[in-house]
């Protein structure tokens, strides 16, 4: 069962890989789309007092395009509140001259289908494992008794797929 739990963790870690970023320009981005921008050092420094970001890239929601600036909603900081993490968002104006690159977030369908198929296969395998009573490796099973041999013969005689 440990092997299945390991695969489940791998699949959970692969879920964010269902998205990818493609290069775009500001005019082709619509409001409410998720984008990643790479900022010039000066613009990143100016925004660092509003948004606690150490890098020059910023992910957020594109809100509107002005003549010489762009408004985005970005994560400013996260706070642990009980058992959940609450992320606070900040609206910031970014000068067009301070934006070096724009990337548009999009769903990568082949990766999504692959991860979903693998997750379904793991779920089916775990369900079958639970229903058949398989509780682990062969080394942890008790020594079979005389009644177990009789049950095994009966199970082998059940026709499958007819």
The rounded distance, in Å, linking the Cα atoms of 110 and 113 is 5
Residue 75 lies in a domain: yes
Scored b (16 or more CB within 10 A) or e, 51-86 reads bebeebebebbbeeeeeebbbbebbeeeeeeeeeee
pLDDT tens-digit readout, 9-66: 665 666 666 788 899 999 999 999 999 999 999 988 888 877 766 678 889 999 999 8
Structural domain including 51 reads: 20-107
Residue 160 lies in a domain: no
Residue 59 lies in a domain: yes
Cβ-proximal residues to 131 (8 Å cutoff; 6+ apart), any chain: none
Q: Does pTM surpass 0.75?
A: no
Q: How many domains, the chain?
A: 1
Q: How many Cβ atoms from other residues are within 10 Å of residue 115's Cβ?
A: 19
Residue 42 lies in a domain: yes
């Amino acid at each position: 069962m440990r092997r299945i739990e390991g695969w489940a963790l791998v699949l959970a870690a692969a879920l964010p890989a269902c998205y990818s970023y493609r290069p775009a320009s500001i005019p082709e981005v619509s409001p409410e789309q998720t984008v990643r921008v790479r900022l010039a050092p000066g613009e990143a420094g100016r925004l660092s007092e509003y948004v606690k970001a150490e890098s020059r890239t910023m992910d957020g929601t594109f809100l509107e395009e002005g003549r010489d600036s762009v408004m985005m909603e970005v994560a400013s900081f996260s706070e642990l509140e009980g058992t959940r993490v609450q992320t606070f968002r900040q609206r910031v104006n970014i000068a067009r001259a301070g934006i070096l690159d724009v990337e548009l977030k999009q769903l990568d369908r082949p990766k999504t289908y692959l991860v979903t198929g693998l997750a379904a296969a793991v779920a089916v395998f775990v369900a079958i494992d639970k229903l058949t009573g398989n509780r682990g490796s062969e080394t942890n099973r008790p020594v079979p008794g005389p009644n177990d041999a009789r049950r095994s013969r009966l199970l082998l005689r059940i026709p499958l797929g007819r």
